[in-house]
Structure 1
Amino acid sequence: MEGISSSPEEHTASEGEEARKITRESPSPGNHVDQGFPQATSSANISQLEEKMRRKLQFFFMNPIEKWHAKRKFPYKFIIQLIKIVLVTFQLCLFAHNRYNHVNYTEDNRVSFSHLFLLGWDSTREINAYPPGAGPLAVYKLDEFYNALDYAYAGYYNLSNAIGPYSYNDENNNPPPPVFCQFNYKRGIINGFNESYEFNAEIVSSCVNFTKSEGLFSSQKFIKELNLEVDFASLVRAELMFSIKTINFRAAGPITPPDCFRFDVAVVFDNEDHDGQMSLSLEAEPYKLACKGDKEYVTDNKIDQILRSILNILVILICSMSLMLCSRAIYRAQLLKELTVQFFRQAYDKELSLDGRLEFLNVWYIMIIVNDILIIMGSAIKEQIERNQFTNDQWNVCSLFLGTGNLLVWFGVLRYLGFFKTYNVVILTLKKAAPKIFRFSICALLLYAGFTFCGWLILGPYHMKFRSLATTSECLFSLINGDDMFATFSVMSKKSHLLWWFSRIYLYSFISLYIYVVLSLFISVIMDAYDTIKQYYKEGFPKSDLHTFMGAPSCDDVSSGLYRTQSSSSLNATMNSLFCCNFYRSAYSKIDGGGSSLNLL
């Protein structure tokens, strides 16, 4: 092989002149042009060009271990990914622990407020059970509505009786008056006896302070004294609002201070349906406050905040480096693709196939870029949360970014397992089955959508699992996996015998179709792809024109130092003399300097 046996210095001296004498001739047998390619349009010098192009492409598609043996170049992007996995996972574990304590604390306070301010609340409503152990908390009579207001009012002004360390939203701990607001239709008069009404859909609001009074407070009497009234025919929603401050000592530890919060509490009466049932609920929105604690406390050195800030900054720096390196790798891969396309066009007078072009698009890099962006955004929000720069609750937004980013980071580990044959079977099977699964899923989803809309429409009013489109879809998906089948059958109301019998036919047909037919076909599609991959391992994988041109480097070639020669410089000189296009000339020159480390990840 001339391109390999000759020294790089001899190549550089002769290539520039010989490349200008290129004519369309058939390559000699020693030129290593694989079968299936058109005859090359070059002289003997093209043989050298082919070998150098082949060598560069072989190196591009090597894994990090092979590249280390080939050029002794340190796989820095691979090491960055390993460091990123450790730091990001450690960061997530700390944040998950703190977020659980925060969410659990705010939810426990909401339950405490419900006991203090909601008339009729009991502990059975604190557990999300299926089927529910109790009906909705609601008021049905005028007296119940005003009694609920009086109960919340009494609980607010008797806050000292609560076990929790609650205080009023006032510097002197004096109770500011709670605010009662009504949201009514602008005009809403109903005369049911003669089927007449007056209606204006515009919603107007009016608010009044429930000031503290001597003796027993009566909300109904207080509202009448202000020449106001509650018109239940036009009432859409009513709210009693007030704020409560508290301090969480549980967060305090060797290096962590207590947390201070303000809860904006709202007792909500929802009458939007106007069906005689006004639901009663409580909302409590937490806002973090700056604490004024003991100055001699150990938290004065701010050790915990410094350590967490260092971790956040390290994660942001590592992810930024990973983002830049992977973006550069994708850019250089596209430059190399354009160079390869131009080489095939000039040397073989043919276009590189679509499969060959797609080989240069590394989906793993794209996934890494996405998770880097998510983790950087999540870490920035986390740092602001820990520095108390957010007054409102941003924990959910931060957890969404960090959780999704960490999920993709761990998915990326599959790339490195793919370097081993045993583990690569799973990845190749999913890749092979993906197009068939996509086409199969479209057909299955059409059937699923039909059953979903049908069940929602027909069974919704009579079955609690079909009351909305979302719950209908969740119910059907659970049935596919064999979950809670008997309860789905038994909960159906018997108010309509026709619909009861329809529900049986509907459920039996859906379960039979999806469990016995659709799932079996789905499994067979994956097993077929798995059998194909196993056959490929025995007989060889199908190759695109790109891989046919490259061939497979032998272990001796990889470790012999062949790839450590200055072949890129001579290849660059030959390509510059061969191709007249300045774009590809400049593109290759960008690849040339560091392109050999293009795919170290």
Structure 2
Amino acid sequence: MENITSSPDNTCSEEDGEQKSSNNRASDNGQRFDTANTSYTALNQMEEKMRRKLQFFFMNPIEKWKAKRKFPYKFVVQVIKIVLVTFQLCLFAHNRYNHVNYTWDNRISFSHLFLLGWDSTREINAYPPGAGPLAIYKQDEFYNTLDFAYAGYLNLSNAIGPYSYNNEDNKRVDPVFCQYNYKQGIIYGFNESYIFNSEIVETCVNFTSSENELFSSEMYLKNSGIDIQFAALVRAKLMFSVNTINFRAAGPITPPDCYRFDVELIFDNEDHDGQMSLILDAEPYKLTCKGDTEYVTDNKIDQVLRSILNVLVILICSISLALCSRAIYRAQLLKELTVHFFRHNYNKELSVDGRLEFLNIWYIMIIINDILIIMGSAIKEQIERNQFTNDQWNVCSLFLGTGNLLVWFGVLRYLGFFKTYNVVILTLKKAAPKIFRFLICALLLYAGFTFCGWLILGPYHMKFRSLATTSECLFSLINGDDMFATFSIMSKKSPMLWWFSRIYLYSFISLYIYVVLSLFISVIMDAYDTIKQYYKDGFPKSDLQQFIGEANYEEVSSGLYRTQSSSSLNAVMNSLFCCNFYRSAYSKIGGGTSSHNLL
């Protein structure tokens, strides 16, 4: 009986074990299903947060303002910078024009005072030139020119200009005459022989004479032991300095400017062709004026105001430089995170076009113009404090001018937010690769014509005398400028080359005006038609743009982007990815809503 009675108990216990095992398996399956469901939900959440993050990154400042209500300080900084640097450029351009015009007018005055044979017709840059180069051809003319310059220097008080000698008590400082000769240079033309040593030797002497003595440079040089051999003479100079004061710039807050002009009378005989060119050069140097006790406005108001403006420009450009550099750095961090996201979730690499979306060319251009303007403003401050040389005017204008050019180019970025203006930018962007390839072929043809014209027509045509003037002439012909003059100026000394010049000019003009320019315009028009078609049918999208999609106006204005999206995305990424580099990288650009600055 016990065995019989125990049998049902064993059966029941076996059935209970099977039931428990079945329940355990069901429980495990449910747990795995819940885990998979949770993982799937987390991945969907991560994808949505990543998409929202990228959508916000590629918004323009207006959309970002609607999405996060964050003050667009980068945009405001750029607006302030445009106003300040433009105002600074206007002031500097006005001062530079006055400086260059003043120094040029003084150079003309010195030419009349110290250059024998100078004529007012040489003061106008006419084309073609109304007179040949100023030169001397006889030995007597050489010494007469020196005597005329020295006499003009002695009678400096007779000049209309407020000129004085470079001495505190206005006593005359002796001019310096220097000659540069070949160490040996003797020519025996009757039997075609010579003695020559190419080493150049410099010899200098001061021109000194009493006030009532009639000065003769030829006799003075001979008495000084200097015998000028014109066959060996390479170059000669007569040098002296003149001080002057400019009242024109003076005003209620601006004191007069004081200058020293280092005048050089140059005799250029390097070609040894029987024609010695005569050139006058006057290098200006701004001096610190000692002022006058009667001048009541001897304060530094003008200098202080200009210094404040320079400091403000340097400060605002430094802020712009820091903000744009940070934006580019954060964009690269987000790019690396996006690349890792695509690789982990879609098992694919982000395309090159998608990677280039994170490189903002506008920010790079802003960084370049910030650097240029900072350097130009620093040089400008030195100029206005009289701590400069004359070349710094040109260097400063180069930095400030190029920087302002790029600043105003940057305005196109904000116009690009509007469809009407964005067509021009997109057309240039679309046509740029084709234009670049087209220009390579066109420049090869242009280079061939340039070198050919320079070699063959250079000795007979004034527009082809150098490689630079040849290129300028051909470029002018492409634009239809001065065609008849180019044909008519050609010399007829060589009939063969005269006919060649006709064939050369006709072929170049026909090829570039009727063929190359037409093709160039067609390339741009083709890109323009393509952009218009894109506006109708939609723009092609990269894999990144397809993933991002488009945020509609309701989502942007709903406040959805003002949530803790970055922190939640950071938590999800940390829970799924095991890469500390990308987690730390994203924490730098995530880290809460406060780090979502307008890019």
TM category, shorter = over 0.9
> When the two structures are aligned, how many residues end up with a matched partner?
567
1:463 to 456, 461, 464: 461
2:18 is matched with which residue?
none
In structure 1, stretches of 5+ residues that fail to align are: 1-17, 28-41
Q: Does 1:118 align with 2:124?
A: no
1:144 is matched with which residue?
141
State the shift of 1:227 in Å.
2.0
CA 1:348–1:501: 2 relative to 1, 3 Å: same
- Out of 193-202 and 140-149, give the one that drifted further: 193-202
Task: Say whether the 8 Å CA contact 2:70–2:597 is kept in structure 1.
Answer: no
1:102 is matched with which residue?
99
State the shift of 1:43 in Å.
2.0
Q: Does 1:82 align with 2:79?
A: yes
Partner letter of residue 106 of structure 1? T
Task: Say whether the 8 Å CA contact 1:170–1:176 is kept in structure 2.
Answer: yes
- Out of 455-464 and 383-392, give the one that drifted further: 383-392
Partner letter of residue 148 of structure 1? T
CA 1:599–1:142: 2 relative to 1, 3 Å: farther
Task: Say whether the 8 Å CA contact 1:149–1:219 is kept in structure 2.
Answer: yes
2:179 to 174, 178, 182: 182
CA 1:323–1:125: 2 relative to 1, 3 Å: same
Task: Say whether the 8 Å CA contact 1:286–1:393 is kept in structure 2.
Answer: no
Task: Say whether the 8 Å CA contact 2:165–2:172 is kept in structure 1.
Answer: yes
Partner letter of residue 228 of structure 1? I
CA deviation string 1:480-524 (max 9, x = no partner): 000000000000000000000000000000000000000000000
Partner letter of residue 600 of structure 1? L
Partner letter of residue 585 of structure 1? R
Partner letter of residue 44 of structure 1? T
State the shift of 1:392 in Å.
4.1
1:539 to 525, 537, 544: 537
Task: Say whether the 8 Å CA contact 1:246–1:262 is kept in structure 2.
Answer: yes
Q: Does 1:518 align with 2:544?
A: no
Partner letter of residue 448 of structure 1? Y
Give the secondary-structure state (helix, strand or coil) at the position aligned to 1:300: coil
CA deviation string 1:299-346 (max 9, x = no partner): 323111111111111000000000000000000000000000000000
2:322 is matched with which residue?
324
CA–CA separation in structure 2 for the residues paired with 1:181 and 1:96? 38
Give the secondary-structure state (helix, strand or coil) at the position aligned to 2:386: coil
Whichever of the two has the greater Rg, that structure is 2
Partner letter of residue 128 of structure 2? P
Q: CA RMSD in A?
A: 1.7
Q: Does 1:448 align with 2:446?
A: yes
CA deviation string 1:504-549 (max 9, x = no partner): 0000000000000000000000000000000000000000000000
State the shift of 1:599 in Å.
6.9
TM-score (norm 2): 0.93
2:226 is matched with which residue?
228
Q: Does 1:92 align with 2:89?
A: yes
User: Aligned ranges for residues 179-578 of structure 1 at < 5 Å?
Assistant: 179-213=176-210, 214-578=212-576
Task: Say whether the 8 Å CA contact 1:255–1:298 is kept in structure 2.
Answer: no
Task: Say whether the 8 Å CA contact 1:168–1:176 is kept in structure 2.
Answer: yes
CA–CA separation in structure 2 for the residues paired with 1:486 and 1:591? 64
Task: Say whether the 8 Å CA contact 1:429–1:526 is kept in structure 2.
Answer: yes
2:152 to 148, 151, 155: 155
CA–CA separation in structure 2 for the residues paired with 1:393 and 1:525? 42
State the shift of 1:44 in Å.
2.3
CA deviation string 1:131-177 (max 9, x = no partner): 00000000001011111111101101110110000000111111111
- Out of 422-431 and 193-202, give the one that drifted further: 193-202
Give the secondary-structure state (helix, strand or coil) at the position aligned to 1:243: strand
Q: Does 1:131 align with 2:131?
A: no
Task: Say whether the 8 Å CA contact 2:313–2:374 is kept in structure 1.
Answer: yes
CA 1:197–1:512: 2 relative to 1, 3 Å: same
CA 1:522–1:360: 2 relative to 1, 3 Å: same
TM-score (norm 1): 0.92
CA 1:227–1:439: 2 relative to 1, 3 Å: same
Give the secondary-structure state (helix, strand or coil) at the position aligned to 1:504: helix
CA–CA separation in structure 2 for the residues paired with 1:595 and 1:381? 41
Task: Say whether the 8 Å CA contact 1:80–1:322 is kept in structure 2.
Answer: yes
- Out of 214-223 and 343-352, give the one that drifted further: 214-223
1:59 is matched with which residue?
56
CA–CA separation in structure 1 for the residues paired with 2:396 and 2:89? 11
Task: Say whether the 8 Å CA contact 1:269–1:280 is kept in structure 2.
Answer: yes
